[in-house]
Amino acid sequence: MPVEDLFVGAEYVSTLMNVSIPYAYKLIKKLNGELAAQGYLIVRGKVNKEYLYEKIYRKVS
């Protein structure tokens, strides 16, 4: 997986979820807070793409 595909920014989140860019930044901050609490390194203003999709489309078994 190319490095540029690991993290996405507010514009991507905004388009994906059909929300405003300021709200997308709030979502990114929340998700990054969850990741940081689990001990992961984060990139401010971006979120791990895989984690974002996991939280949006939670797998139901």
Q: For 23-38, what is the mean pLDDT? A: 97
Q: For 29-38, what is the mean pLDDT? A: 97
pLDDT band at 29 (very low <50, low <70, confident <90, very high): very high
SS (H, E, C) the chain: CCHHHCEEEHHHHHHHHCCCHHHHHHHHHHHHHHHHHCCCCCCCCEEEHHHHHHHHCCCCC
**pLDDT value for 26:** 98
Encoding tokens for residue 34? 């969850």
The answer to whether 47 and 13 have CB atoms below 8 angstroms apart is yes
User: Whole-angstrom Cα distance, residue 45 to residue 37?
Assistant: 17
pTM to 2 decimal places: 0.86
